[in-house]
Structure 1
Amino acid sequence: MARRWVAEDYGDLDVFAEIDAEVPAPGPGEVTIEVRAAGMNPADYKRVAHGTDRSLLPLPVGYECAGVLTAVGPDTEIGSGGGAVGDEVLAFRVQGAYATSLTVRAADVFAKPASLPFADAAGLLLAGTTAAEMLHVTGVKAGDTVVVHGASGAVGVMVLQQAALLGARVIGTASERNFDVVRRFGGEPVVYGPGLEQRVRDAAPSGVDAALDTVGTDEAVDVSLALVGDRDRIVSIAAAGRAAAEGFHAIGGAMPASKVFRDSVRGRLIELAGAGQLVVPIARTYPLAEARAALEELKGQHPGGKLVLVP
């Protein structure tokens, strides 16, 4: 028996509940993980807020975790190869990571580098793969100047680090209190708010090659459109409506193309994190029993890093 958080209905955070749940033994192509840390993401509550398919209820919550293998199904290897009871692993694109234990598809499980703490590993892949796809669809390359809206957030920080590895220059919008975060990860901060377009132009007098939006505000979209002439080099993860209307990219983990790309880069991002080339800034950890309080902080939009649940 495991403890697990589920959404018993669709709506606000009051529909989340911690329950006892059976953990099925793994079949072929499956493994069971004792969870040591579960990464938290806005998608965890947004799916519940906007869901409509009642056949999925109660809905397990959480897409990524790190822990230790406690069982391996017959003739099964994990996504990175091998896999034995006792191995330390991380998993992404799973269902129900807010738990003490869960059985998942082995293909979504990877060996955890020994240098990577469980909390960091649990917070790596959703933000990391999202950032990688944003850079991919806009074709960011060495020598480019890029503006990133929301550069101090979890995805923004991953964009900063991966853009630096590509050799791109990044101007990152943020509040002044988060300027040090932007600088720490290789970006040049500018404050958002009235006059943003001119501040970016002043910082990049030779022009901006691409714009990556993690916040979805009208300001972020308007400034992106004003700065970047080629709409194929603008992407948002939070303004799908405007993207469809105005001809720039919108991506999301539920989109087939996004899923394929994000799955393809998981192993590489784990290697980079294990080598210390990708850092997961952890703002705070919460006990699993306090998941609802942690979600309240996450909804506040300014946690200053990843939030992680620790069973």
Structure 2
Amino acid sequence: MRAMAYEKYGGPEVLAETRLPVPKVAPGEVLVRVRCASVNPVDWKIMAGGLDGLMDVVYPVVPGWDVSGTVERVGIDVPEFAEGDEVMAYARKDYVHGGTFAEFVSVPVRALARKPASLDWRQAAGLPLAGLTAYQLLTRLGTGGDDTVLVHGAAGGVGSLGVQIARALGARVIGTASPRNHDRLRELGCEPVAYGDGLTERVRALAPDGVSVVADFVGGVLDVTTAVLAEGGRHASIADHTVLGAGGQWMWVRPVGEDLTALARLADEGRLTVTVAETFPLSALAEAFTLSQAGHTAGKIIIEP
């Protein structure tokens, strides 16, 4: 199969198009024919060695954890799926090796969900990692209809999904973002505020009694979080472990198919959508990584083999 892979840590220059064997399909796995895969910052951070202390690496590495596609083959003891099923997954495994920037990827059934009919292949590929990150953080904090939620980084890939999920859970949502993204956030049902100096005062103007939930998707904002959090409020971060010392939770997304199925249901109910910014062919993965590293896209970057 065609795949993009690397043999050593580095920047986009270490990526090369290559031919690799089609992955084996272990018990409890399915083989997915990739229709689309999504770029996430973690992909190039791993490639640069940023998670070397956390995860074992087996070269050659095919990067990528997000995928949408069709089931090509099922392994032993996988009654949930059949050949031809349209699926999506956050296809993270226990070590870094066979990812989604290829024509085929093997996926543990625990990470798999059926593709929502309301999303196209590109949108479905952009949902799993970012959507699960937001969903798991918000549900772990018990977000519900009585909450006012502050989302740090509300216009980003995770944050924009977090806004929609919090709204679907019944919460009022305030979100930090650059003014150029405020109209888009209003369309999602969010009350936008500009980040930077004076943020605490701007949030307090909208929520004088404080907010009950803070979802931090950017890091470096703990001072604002603690300043606007109401007594008894809950907060968590995906980017700042120091929240642990302030009564918060530090989280990293888990590949849970049931949670992804819940997100698919929200999409089919019209309460969740995914914005796609750019689409690249497989051979242009290095260019896609460079664009992701610049951090200026308003939506997901998609690879279409």
Q: Are 2:21 and 1:19 aligned?
A: no
Q: Are 2:302 and 1:283 aligned?
A: no
The answer to whether the 8 Å contact 2:67/2:91 transfers is no
Using the alignment, how far apart are the partners of 1:167 and 1:229 within structure 2? 18
Using the alignment, how far apart are the partners of 1:82 and 1:263 within structure 2? 12
Deviation at 1:123, TM superposition (A): 0.9
Query: Residue 90 of structure 1 corresponds to which residue in structure 2?
Result: 88
SS at match of 1:68: strand
Query: Residue 148 of structure 1 corresponds to which residue in structure 2?
Result: 151
Query: Residue 47 of structure 1 corresponds to which residue in structure 2?
Result: 46
Deviation at 1:234, TM superposition (A): 1.3
- The one-letter code matched in structure 1 to 2:29 is E
Q: Are 2:201 and 1:195 aligned?
A: no
Q: Percent identity?
A: 40
Using the alignment, how far apart are the partners of 2:188 and 2:20 within structure 1? 40
Query: Residue 95 of structure 2 corresponds to which residue in structure 1?
Result: none
RMSD: 2.0
Moved over 6 A (4+): none
Q: Are 2:70 and 1:68 aligned?
A: yes
The answer to whether the 8 Å contact 1:232/1:249 transfers is no
SS at match of 1:190: strand
Task: Please list the CA deviations of residues 184-217 of structure 1 after superposition, one character each: whole Å capped at 9, or x if unmatched.
Answer: 2110111111111101111212321121111112
The answer to whether the 8 Å contact 2:216/2:238 transfers is yes
Task: Please list the CA deviations of residues 226-261 of structure 1 after superposition, one character each: whole Å capped at 9, or x if unmatched.
Answer: 111558611111112x223433211013xxxxx37x
How many residue pairs get aligned? The number is 297
Gaps of 5+ in 2: 93-97
Using the alignment, how far apart are the partners of 1:55 and 1:61 within structure 2? 11
Using the alignment, how far apart are the partners of 1:113 and 1:229 within structure 2? 37
- In structure 2, do the counterparts of structure 1 residues 7 and 180 end up closer, same or farther at CA, with 3 Å as the change threshold? farther
Q: Are 2:232 and 1:238 aligned?
A: no
The answer to whether the 8 Å contact 1:10/1:51 transfers is no
1:174-253, aligned counterparts within 5 Å? 174-217=177-220, 220-230=221-231, 233-240=234-241, 242-253=242-253
Gaps of 5+ in 1: 254-258
- In structure 2, do the counterparts of structure 1 residues 133 and 29 end up closer, same or farther at CA, with 3 Å as the change threshold? closer
Query: Residue 132 of structure 2 corresponds to which residue in structure 1?
Result: 129
The answer to whether the 8 Å contact 1:138/1:232 transfers is no
TM-score under structure 1 length normalisation: 0.88
- The one-letter code matched in structure 1 to 2:170 is G
- In structure 2, do the counterparts of structure 1 residues 71 and 142 end up closer, same or farther at CA, with 3 Å as the change threshold? same
The answer to whether the 8 Å contact 1:152/1:304 transfers is yes
Query: Residue 101 of structure 1 corresponds to which residue in structure 2?
Result: 104
Query: Residue 2 of structure 2 corresponds to which residue in structure 1?
Result: 3
SS at match of 1:62: coil
The answer to whether the 8 Å contact 2:91/2:99 transfers is no
Using the alignment, how far apart are the partners of 2:231 and 2:45 within structure 1? 31
Using the alignment, how far apart are the partners of 1:54 and 1:90 within structure 2? 25
The answer to whether the 8 Å contact 1:5/1:96 transfers is no
Deviation at 1:12, TM superposition (A): 2.5
Using the alignment, how far apart are the partners of 2:99 and 2:119 within structure 1? 22
Using the alignment, how far apart are the partners of 2:248 and 2:24 within structure 1? 45
- In structure 2, do the counterparts of structure 1 residues 265 and 226 end up closer, same or farther at CA, with 3 Å as the change threshold? same
Mean Cα deviation higher: 198-207 or 101-110: 101-110
Larger relative helix fraction: 1
Larger relative strand fraction: 2
SS at match of 1:90: strand
- In structure 2, do the counterparts of structure 1 residues 51 and 149 end up closer, same or farther at CA, with 3 Å as the change threshold? closer
- In structure 2, do the counterparts of structure 1 residues 222 and 30 end up closer, same or farther at CA, with 3 Å as the change threshold? same
Using the alignment, how far apart are the partners of 1:224 and 1:147 within structure 2? 8
Task: Please list the CA deviations of residues 69-97 of structure 1 after superposition, one character each: whole Å capped at 9, or x if unmatched.
Answer: 222234433xxx2322x222212234411
- The one-letter code matched in structure 1 to 2:244 is A
Using the alignment, how far apart are the partners of 1:121 and 1:63 within structure 2? 13
- Residue 288 (structure 2) aligned to one of 294, 299, 302: 294
1:249-268, aligned counterparts within 5 Å? 249-253=249-253, 259=254, 262-268=256-262
Using the alignment, how far apart are the partners of 2:26 and 2:216 within structure 1? 41
- In structure 2, do the counterparts of structure 1 residues 27 and 166 end up closer, same or farther at CA, with 3 Å as the change threshold? closer
- The one-letter code matched in structure 1 to 2:224 is V
- In structure 2, do the counterparts of structure 1 residues 113 and 135 end up closer, same or farther at CA, with 3 Å as the change threshold? closer
